[in-house]
Amino acid sequence: MSSALIYAEDWEHIPELLSTSAALGLSPLIIFSHRDLIDIKVAAKNGASEIITHRLEPIPTYISRLLVQVISERQPRIILGEAKKNVREIFGRAAQRMGKACVNNCNNIDIAEGIVRIIRPILGGGYNGIQELIGSPVFVTIRPEAFKKYPVKSVEEPLITEIDLKLKRDSIKLVDKKTTKRSEVDLSLAKVIVGVGRGFRNKEDLKLAEELAELLNGVIGCSRPISSDLKWLPEDRHIGLSGKWIRSRLYIAVGISGQIQHVVGIKNAETVIAINNDPDAPIHKESDYSIIADLYEFLPVLIKKLRESKLRSIYG
Amino acid sequence: MLNIHVCVKQSIDINSLEYDPDTLRPRLETLQFRIGDADLCAVEEAVRIKENNGGKVTLLCAGHNINPDIIREAMAIGADDAYVVSDPLVRDADQWVYANVLAALSVLAGQPDIILCGESSLDDSAYQVGPRIAEELDLPSITHVTRLEVKERKIIAERAIEDGVEILEVELPVVVSVGLEINTPRLPSLLMIRAASRKNVNFIPLDAIKLPKEKLSSLVKYCDIKAIKVGRKNVVLSGSLEEIASMLLSVLKSDGVIQ
């Protein structure tokens, strides 16, 4: 049998990572994770037969060295992780050390006739790249879109192995970390989303979009510059290639130009409405309904009309 | 004096690329190339470090049919020279091959204090060449850096990850990957563009970096590339703002979102 080694930086999606590995026909399932994070019950229930633990600080350069050690001993077919920044760095380093293939942000993974085949977004997210990975093991990070459901057999008691290794260390020091509070909203589950972009001139003006979202029992999302550059909204509100991929019933893009990298995140939204005063903005081509108007003039009119009508959102 | 290397990739310009509506495959005749945005941020950051600390900025590039004018556009930001491998063997390279060639180029170009990379390329979005080069050269890596400061023989880096912001300190040499947040690359003036046209772009034959065959053999192969096409209605609602708002409400109503 070919085993899967799952590297977990947090345990939120351990059940999905385990069921995806099981669906690929991999067994046994082994988790590699920090000692303080492990949840034996979750691991047992979802079919992990072993948990290998470490006590390293969260510095990818160091963790990758330990991962190489674990892989050399356990010889898994696939090293699987969530598509997160630290995980990609750890996998990239370990793959280079071992001379192996690594692919990130996959939306799908399959093994057919012994060959690992993945689909991942390329060319700004406008295209699917279908790729085959040569050799074994291979390193794969997956997006939630790639999670597979599978009836896993629970394990009575996973084996816990602590790895304690004298590690070569560089001078990297984690001096400080400010943890941002997670918002209570998971955009990828929201039914109605109002997306805001650079068309808004000030942070205060987002109130207009918030008001509209509230009336529709929806939530606010944004394009990358709003969260990453301007920091008007937290990172988990970013819709796009490197952010959330929404599958809402309704998406209203307000003041968003519609760069390829944003559009990939809204492809699975059912109805898309664009409000943008630039008739040439690419977002109009990606929309079901376009409104070519200044958001500062149009939103107040729309909000007033919605308030006055007796119409209410079916969600809430 | 700091020796700074910056990896840049001649990437497919995703904005000019079109696809065939029947096969959904990219239309090769619409292929145009440029240096990716994150790579340009890396060049800009290198030039700022040079301006503050003194030093030299060398661009490294690996690929096939590399156009020296595209390299010079990036050099115009303020790089001093460039080392380029342009070889058909690197045409279908995966990140294993890119990292091997770029690491070898870095060795050839001489002892770097800092190697800067964009966090991912414009076309392949693989998110791993920086860490792979670091591993190949046995150096520490820091990815997704949003602010960078060099102090004597150390860097202090601010790094944005999913659950917060980290401050890291590391002694040189180090490999740093940056995203679009770190800076806005300057638009080169005519003078800078003219200066770049006189700078040295060193085309290095692939043989000269003496890589064994297995380090030039890709482990990830493309089977197919298909545009993700979503059928949208593309209806423009027009009229007075009042009229448009009413139309939009009826759309939402018939769509069943409001009732």
Q: Which of B13, B113, B151, B220 has the most A C-beta neighbours within 10 Å, making it the best mutation to test the interface with A?
A: B220
> Hey, what are B179's tokens?
């995203």
A240 and A145 within one domain: no
**Cβ contacts (< 8 Å) between B225 and chain A: which residues?**
122-123, 127-130
pLDDT number for residue A287? 96
Residue A179 falls within a domain, yes or no? Answer: no
A11 and A135 within one domain: yes
**Do the chains contact at B171 and A306, CB–CB below 8 Å?**
no
Of A134, A175, A293, the CB nearest to B221: A134
- The answer to whether residue A311 neighbours chain B at the CB level (below 8 Å) is yes
- Total of domains in chain A: 2
A255 and A147 within one domain: no
Q: Where are the domains of chain B?
A: 2-216
Task: Determine the structural domain holding residue A62 and report its residue range.
Answer: 4-162
**Low-confidence spans in chain A with pLDDT less than 50:** none
pLDDT tens readout for residues B219-252: 999 999 999 988 899 999 999 999 999 999 999 9
A194 and A110 within one domain: no
pLDDT tens readout for residues B155-199: 999 999 988 899 999 999 999 999 999 999 999 999 999 999 999
**Cβ contacts (< 8 Å) between B144 and chain A: which residues?**
85
A142 and A43 within one domain: yes
A147 and A63 within one domain: yes
Q: What is the CATH number of the domain that holds A288?
A: 3.40.50.1220
pLDDT, averaged across chain B: 95
> Hey, what are A8's tokens?
């977990």
CATH top-level class for B2-216? alpha beta
A194 and A158 within one domain: no
Q: Contact, B132 vs B231, CB < 8 A?
A: no
Of B170, B222, B234, the CB nearest to A170: B170
Number of CB pairs, chain A paired with chain B, less than 8 A apart = 261
Nearest chain B CA: its distance from A273 CA (Å): 9
**Cβ contacts (< 8 Å) between B161 and chain A: which residues?**
84-86
A154 and A205 within one domain: no
A294 and A152 within one domain: no
Residue A175 falls within a domain, yes or no? Answer: no
pLDDT tens readout for residues A51-110: 999 999 999 999 999 999 999 999 999 999 999 999 999 999 999 999 999 999 999 999
Nearest chain B CA: its distance from A257 CA (Å): 13
A283 and A193 within one domain: yes
B128: closest CA among B45, B7, B224, B5? B7
Of B131, B156, B234, the CB nearest to A92: B131
Of A85, A309, A315, the CB nearest to B143: A85
Residues contacting residue B175 through CB under 8 Å, at least 6 positions apart = B114, B115, B116, B117, B130, B131, B133, B134, B137, B139, B140, B141, B142
pLDDT number for residue A316? 67
Three-state secondary structure readout of chain A: CCCEEEEECCCCCHHHHHHHHHHCCCCCEEEEEEHHHCCHHHHHHCCEEEEEEECCCCCHHHHHHHHHHHHHHHCCCEEEEECCHHHHHHHHHHHHHHCCCEEEEECEEEEECCEEEEEEEEHHHCEEEEEEECCCCEEEEECHHHCCCCCCCCCCCCEEEECCCCCCCCCCEEEEEEECCCCCCCHHHCCEEEEECCCCCCHHHHHHHHHHHHHCCCEEEECHHHHHHCCCCCHHHEECCCCECCCCCEEEEECCCCCHHHHHHHCCCCEEEEECCCCCCHHHHHCCEEECCCHHHHHHHHHHHHHHCCCCECCC
pLDDT number for residue A235? 86
pLDDT number for residue A1? 65
